[in-house]
């Protein structure tokens, strides 16, 4: 079946030509109220992104995701692999929150907060406008042969892009290995840390590829969140939308003619000037309706508002609105689906808050040494050997640490260390210990024992382990 003419746009994507080649998008430089707001939001987010690894709270990096050493700091709070459950709940909260937000407000995150859009539209694209000029000049430059002007402009642009990609790669590394480590590597000289240097160059190449070449295709083709829109949006979601009722009226859109009474002739307010298409960084025509490619960047709202102003029509032909709002003037209200997400989100946040309060600052694990049975000693004493691991999540050394057996009368002996020791701040102590209990006290071949971790006389953590003994025959 042939595609109806007004649906043809669905058969192709804006970044690929009919021959299957890359269609470069040269968007017009946006201007207007929303673009100004977005600039301020981007300055804040860029400052946050670049400064976070260099801000310290109680000596902890504000944000750190050291996957290799399994150390994570979130807002200055250190987290360990032992806190993985908190990480999982935070991730679930993040997913539910984004889902709720998307159901209510569409892809607003992409246009205002996503680092890809912030860097692409607010950093790289603005440098491009500065060097190559606005859309018209960029198009002319692309078509002209490689003369001195083109080589100079393209060369300068790509050099600056490369430098910024290198800068982003350094900040990215500061999140991964820590800013102190990064500064140390820089002062040592990059050749002293060849593997880190190679990683840095790979990151630089990836960022350069994304922002100089791949660009808006990240949002159109690669981003999984973009793909989810089809499942999450409905007629009640507020998105950047063209008011087709007003724009098309009874007889459709039509070019503007001075002194023509469009209302009397039944034409809509859209004067088919294509400015909303020219300004779109993903190269789409928002008048075709909500599309997966739309990152809700608001550039077309600003541009259409300028046009409406110039022809003395009310602004807002393209605006934040839901399909229901455009069709029936229905105001925004919470749907049952949104209420459901809010309920789940509230429960999860409550759960996470409770777990954060209950989270131990010291975590002890005592496990029986694998492959070892019990030993039957003199005086009917049964001995088991264990390994222990003590994690100190605080910023202070914990000294005078000792173990005591709480559940049974017996003896606990540490191997190769004194009975009280120190666990370094944000560090770990591990080793081996023996526990000896009289066979008379044991109730079976598997006995659950409770061990206390003390700082001086203060009990700071308890843990349990299995203690093996001889099998009982009746």
Binder to ligand SF4 among 238, 295, 382, 468 (CB under 6 A)?
295
Residue (310 or 399) nearer to ligand SF4, CB? 310
The tokens of 135 are what? 């859309």
Q: What are phi and psi of 354, to 5 degrees?
A: -60, -45
Residue of 297, 398, 423, 435 interacting with ligand SF4 (CB under 6 A): 297
State yes or no: residue 276 binds ligand SF4 (CB under 6 A). Answer: yes
Out of 13, 273, 338, 342, the residue judged to bind ligand SF4 by CB under 6 A? 273
**Residue 418: which residues within 8 A CB-CB, separation 6 or more?**
none
Backbone angles phi, psi at 68, to 5 degrees: -65, -45
Out of 104, 220, 240, 292, point to the residue binding ligand SF4 (CB under 6 A): 240
215: left (phi over 0), alpha (psi -120 to 50) or beta: left
437 counts as binding ligand SF4 under rule CB under 6 A:
no
Q: What is the dihedral of CA 36, 278, 113, 232, to 10 degrees?
A: 130
Nearest approach, Cβ of residue 239 and ligand SF4 (Å): 8
Cα(36)–Cα(447) distance, rounded to whole angstroms? 68
Q: Which stretch binds ligand SF4 (CB under 6 A): 39-47, 64-72, 98-106, 271-279?
A: 271-279
- Out of 303, 323, 363, 461, the residue judged to bind ligand SF4 by CB under 6 A: 303
- Interface residue with ligand SF4 among 220, 270, 449, 465 (CB under 6 A) is 270
* 2 DSSP assignment: P
Per-position x/- string for 316-355, each x denoting binding to ligand SF4 as judged by CB under 6 A, each - no binding: -xx-------------------------------------
> Near ligand SF4 by CB under 6 A, which window of 58-66, 206-214, 273-281, 386-394?
273-281
Smallest distance from ligand SF4 to CB 464, Å: 56
Q: CB of 307: closest distance to ligand SF4 in angstroms? A: 5
Residues ≥6 apart with Cβ < 8 Å to 372: 384, 385
Residue 1 beta carbon to ligand SF4: minimum distance, rounded to whole angstroms:
28
Q: Contact between 177 and ligand SF4 (CB under 6 A)? A: no
Q: Chain centroid to CA 276: how far?
A: 30
- Written as one string, the DSSP assignment of 19-30 is TS-B----PPPP
CA gap 377, 394 in Å, rounded: 40
**Minimum CB separation from ligand SF4 for residue 274, in Å?**
5
- CA pseudo-torsion sign 320, 323, 327, 332: negative
- List Cβ neighbours of 472 (8 Å cut-off, separation of 6 or more): 444, 445
Q: What are phi and psi of 418, to 5 degrees?
A: -70, 165
Binding mask 181-220 for ligand SF4 (x = CB under 6 A): ----------------------------------------
Interaction of residue 300 with ligand SF4, rule CB under 6 A: yes
Among 28, 287, 319, 393, binds ligand SF4 (CB under 6 A): 287
Instruction: Name the residue among 98, 16, 58, 78 with its Cα closest to residue 363.
Output: 78
d(C-alpha 260, C-alpha 257), whole Å: 6
Residue of 82, 170, 275, 288 that binds ligand SF4 (CB under 6 A): 275
Provide the minimum distance between the beta carbon of 139 and ligand SF4 in the complex, in angstroms, as a whole number.
18
Q: How far is the CB of 295 from ligand SF4 (least distance, A)?
A: 5
Question: Alpha helix (H) ranges present in 252-389?
Answer: 262-265, 275-278, 299-310, 323-328, 336-358
**Category of 128 on φ-ψ map: left (φ > 0), alpha (ψ -120 to 50) or beta:** alpha
Cβ closest to ligand SF4, residue 193 vs residue 244: 244
* Torsion sign (Cα): 105, 111, 113, 114: positive
274 near ligand SF4, judged by CB under 6 A: yes
CB 286 to ligand SF4: min, Å: 4
Residue from 60, 296, 384, 463 touching ligand SF4 (CB under 6 A): that is 296
Q: Is 271 in the site for ligand SF4 (CB under 6 A)?
A: yes
Q: Which residues bind ligand SF4 (CB under 6 A)?
A: 240, 242, 247, 270-276, 279-282, 284, 286-287, 294-300, 303-304, 307, 317-318
């Amino acid at each position: 079946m042939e595609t109806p003419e007004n649906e043809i746009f669905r058969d192709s994507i804006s970044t690929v030509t009919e021959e299957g080649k890359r269609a470069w998008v040269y968007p017009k430089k946006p201007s207007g109220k929303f673009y100004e707001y977005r600039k301020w939001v981007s300055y804040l987010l860029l400052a946050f992104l670049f400064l976070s690894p260099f801000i310290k709270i109680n000596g902890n990096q504000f944000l750190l995701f050291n996957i290799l050493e399994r150390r994570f700091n979130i807002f200055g709070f250190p987290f360990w692999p032992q806190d993985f459950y908190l990480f999982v709940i935070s991730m679930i909260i993040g997913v539910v929150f984004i889902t709720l937000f998307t159901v209510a407000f569409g892809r607003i995150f992409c246009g205002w907060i996503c680092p890809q859009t912030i860097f692409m539209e607010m950093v790289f694209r603005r440098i491009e406008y500065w060097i190559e000029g606005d859309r018209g000049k960029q198009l002319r430059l692309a078509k002209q042969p490689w003369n001195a002007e083109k080589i100079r402009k393209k060369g300068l642009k790509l050099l600056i892009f490369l430098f910024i990609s290198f800068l982003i790669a350094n900040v990215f590394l500061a999140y991964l290995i820590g800013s102190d480590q990064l500064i140390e590597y820089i002062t040592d000289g990059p050749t002293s840390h060849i593997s880190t240097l190679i990683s840095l160059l790979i990151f630089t190449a990836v960022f350069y590829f994304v922002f100089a070449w791949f660009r808006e295709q990240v949002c159109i083709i690669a981003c999984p969140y973009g793909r989810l829109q089809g499942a999450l949006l409905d007629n009640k979601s507020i998105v950047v939308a063209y008011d087709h009722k007003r724009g098309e009226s009874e007889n459709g859109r039509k070019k503007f003619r001075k002194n023509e009474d469009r209302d009397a002739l039944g034409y809509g307010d859209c004067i088919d000037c294509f400015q909303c298409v020219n300004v779109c960084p993903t190269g789409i025509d928002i008048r075709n309706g909500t599309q997966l490619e739309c990152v809700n960047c608001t550039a077309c709202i600003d541009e259409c508002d300028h046009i409406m102003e110039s022809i003395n029509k009310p602004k807002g032909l393209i605006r934040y609105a839901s399909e229901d709002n455009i069709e029936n003037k229905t105001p925004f209200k919470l749907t049952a689906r949104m209420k459901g997400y809010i309920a789940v989100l509230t429960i999860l946040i409550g759960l996470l808050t409770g777990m954060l309060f209950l989270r131990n600052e010291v975590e002890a694990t005592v496990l029986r040494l694998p492959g070892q049975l019990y030993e039957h000693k003199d005086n009917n004493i049964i001995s088991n050997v264990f390994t222990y691991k003590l994690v100190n999540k605080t910023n202070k050394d914990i000294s005078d640490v000792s173990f005591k057996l709480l559940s049974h009368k017996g003896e606990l002996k540490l191997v190769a260390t004194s009975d009280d020791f120190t666990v370094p701040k944000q560090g770990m102590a591990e080793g081996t210990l023996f526990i000896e209990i009289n066979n008379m006290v044991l109730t079976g071949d598997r006995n659950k024992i409770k061990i206390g971790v003390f700082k001086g006389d203060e009990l700071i953590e308890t843990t349990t382990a299995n203690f093996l003994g001889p099998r009982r025959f009746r």
